[in-house]
Amino acid sequence: MAAPLLILRDVHLTFGGPTLLDGAELSVSEGERLCLVGRNGSGKSTLLKVAAGLIQPDTGERALKQGTSVRYLPQEPDMAGFETTLAYVEAGLGSHDDPHRAVYLLSQFGFAGDENPAKLSGGEARRCALARALAPEPDVLLMDEPTNHLDLPAIEWLEQELKSLRSAMVLISHDRRFLTNLTRTTAWLDRGQIRRLDRGFGEFEAWRDEVLEQEEIARHKLDRKIAREEDWVRYGVSGRRKRNQKRLGDLHAMRQDRRDYRGATGNVVMEAAEAENAAKLVIEAKHISKTYGDRKIVTDTSIRVGRGDCIGIVGPNGAGKTTLLNMLTGALAPDTGTVKLGANIQMVTLDQKRESLHPEATLKEVLTQGQGDMVTVGDNRKHVIGYMKDFLFIPEQANTPVARLSGGERGRLMLARALARPSNLLVLDEPTNDLDLETLDLLQEMLADYSGTVLLVSHDRDFLDRVVTSVIAFEQDGKWMTYAGGYSDMVKQRGHGVKARVANTMDGVKSSKKKGGDKSETSSRKAKLGFKEKHDLETLPAKLDALRTDVKRLQAKLDDPALFTRDPATFKKTLAELETAQAVIAAGEERWLMLEMLREEIES
């Protein structure tokens, strides 16, 4: 086994409230790839700062092997005092580090190096901080949510870059796929202590559930043993005084263990307040387009959204995902084409920047809209404190301003407010940002049970695979294409994931000519159809005919007026199968049409 480079021993830390770290221990060896997981508020970021030497614990020891270099990526980088992005990144280099790597990494993240750090957006500052952390290729790399504000092309590039490094790594991330692809060891921070699994994140969740189940069994046995001993105290204390004293002492010790037991943090109780069903066709967009200046955001795109669909919208940053979402929901008018919303639509929106939360408003005011102590959830009214507890807030936080909440707490607050409103159309723009794994699980289950329609913008590949029924993907030059299934299904169908956006086709042609090239890689025109495209063009009609036959069969089954009363489970299952088949047909027809148009263009 490789020698440890960084060791934390018996770390205790309290910030004026409940104990945050209670004897936590962590070791990082040469080349180790470790993920640090735990609930929001469990102390993961704090422990990482202790490991980086930025926070001194109340008690405990931090040991660093002599000569070991450590770099830390914070969630909110401080870039004050630097005139350019290049100066900021170069400030993180050591005397023996390659200065050219700073330029290379900045270019990979879309920087020229002369940008003013004070004028960067949150996402841009995050990418610049990543370049600074990666540039020295340190012995130990500590990264707190490195995928925040990154789009899918950047996340997948970062994965490959990290795989190529020899550095030991400790990663905190809510992105399951990112952790699964990179880590070989898991450190679970639970109730102030570290539980270690010498396997990657892919096996963590099953192990965690098993540990908690065994813990619950042990607690139940302890409760039964205490009950038996208390019964003995009441009815059986006599003779053998020393033995009785020892037994009484054991009972007191068991009672103390029971009092000291810190149960696992409860789960979020997440349930959407549902409105009456909307029309069967929720959204129909025909040949919509949107252009800003010379830039095409959406070009001649047609999309149908049916009741019960859960549709993911994916693409690189700057592609226009939010613009497309606003057009589909009627918040933004298209330049050309039409968008028709079905009858009886009640829409609830969760914005990715949490901008609709006023920083000075208290948690209670946000949930009650400043009116009393009650929250209306669908047709029910609940006291605000009880509703707060459903989302893991404690009563003492009722008057806490939004500005003092963590990113994860703001995410939960936005969900709590959104889900209290009656809806049959949920519009979620990056809902997974800052949510812990357990809350993601509950959000996933809630969306699975939600009978309404969901439009979801996300860079979380695993979450998309678990939730959506189809994916709308950006295809360059304002084109958007619908694929049946989740993100992985989309990758299989198109042969690749989300690629970085090409800024402008004509710009690509000009830059190619400047370099002496005759052809532009950004040209939207193709010389010929690929093998998969030819295969799809030839086989899709037969597949669609078979699906249409299935639709007729399922529709005939549902036409039985007594089916719902006689067998509601079969009715629900058949309806779900019908809607899935219709979604697959719609996606298949769109793809066949696109391929046929492409074939005609090539032949002409």
Residue 467 in domain: yes
pLDDT band at 33 (very low <50, low <70, confident <90, very high): very high
Range of the domain at 250: 207-260
pLDDT band at 574 (very low <50, low <70, confident <90, very high): confident
Q: Which residues contact 555 (CB under 8 A, 6 or more apart)?
A: 578
State pLDDT tens for residues 533-555: 777 778 888 887 888 888 788 87
Whichever domain contains 101, its CATH number is 3.40.50.300
Average pLDDT over residues 399-423: 80
In this structure, the answer to whether residues 286 and 255 fall within a common structural domain is no
Residue 45 in domain: yes
Cβ–Cβ under 8 Å, residues 190 and 264: yes
Cα distances from 604 to residues 252, 448, 477, in angstroms, run: 89, 46, 21
Residue 121 to residue 70: CA distance in whole angstroms: 27
Residue 164 in domain: yes
DSSP SS3 for 489: helix
For residue 519, is pLDDT > 60?
no
In this structure, the answer to whether residues 101 and 222 fall within a common structural domain is no
Domain boundary among 260, 294, 328: 260
Residue 351 in domain: no
Residue 407 in domain: yes
Cβ–Cβ under 8 Å, residues 8 and 26: yes
- What total number of domains does the chain contain? 5
In this structure, the answer to whether residues 491 and 389 fall within a common structural domain is no
Residue 547 to residue 589: CA distance in whole angstroms: 11
* pLDDT greater at residue 162 or residue 380: 162
In this structure, the answer to whether residues 486 and 555 fall within a common structural domain is no
Mean pLDDT lowest for which of 464-468, 485-489, 536-540?
536-540
Q: Which residues contact 518 (CB under 8 A, 6 or more apart)?
A: 512
Question: From the centroid of its chain, how far is CA 86?
Answer: 30
In this structure, the answer to whether residues 83 and 200 fall within a common structural domain is yes
In this structure, the answer to whether residues 546 and 417 fall within a common structural domain is no
In this structure, the answer to whether residues 227 and 368 fall within a common structural domain is no
* pLDDT at res. 357: 72
In this structure, the answer to whether residues 412 and 485 fall within a common structural domain is no
Whichever domain contains 546, its CATH number is 1.10.287.380
On whether the pTM is more than 0.75, the answer is: no
For residue 358, is pLDDT > 90?
no
Domain boundary among 473, 495, 524: 524
In this structure, the answer to whether residues 412 and 432 fall within a common structural domain is no
Residue 332 in domain: yes
Residue 521 to residue 580: CA distance in whole angstroms: 36
In this structure, the answer to whether residues 248 and 111 fall within a common structural domain is no
Residue 107 in domain: yes
* pLDDT at res. 322: 84
In this structure, the answer to whether residues 255 and 307 fall within a common structural domain is no
Q: Biggest alpha carbon distance in the chain?
A: 105
* pLDDT at res. 51: 96
% the chain with pLDDT above 70 = 80
Average pLDDT over residues 307-329: 89
In this structure, the answer to whether residues 407 and 429 fall within a common structural domain is no
Domain boundary among 491, 509, 524: 524
Average pLDDT over residues 362-374: 86
Cβ–Cβ under 8 Å, residues 462 and 450: no
Give all strands of the β-sheet with 19-29 in edge-to-edge order. 19-29, 4-14, 59-64
Q: Which residues contact 111 (CB under 8 A, 6 or more apart)?
A: 85, 86, 124, 127, 128, 131
Write out the two tokens for 487. 């993100």
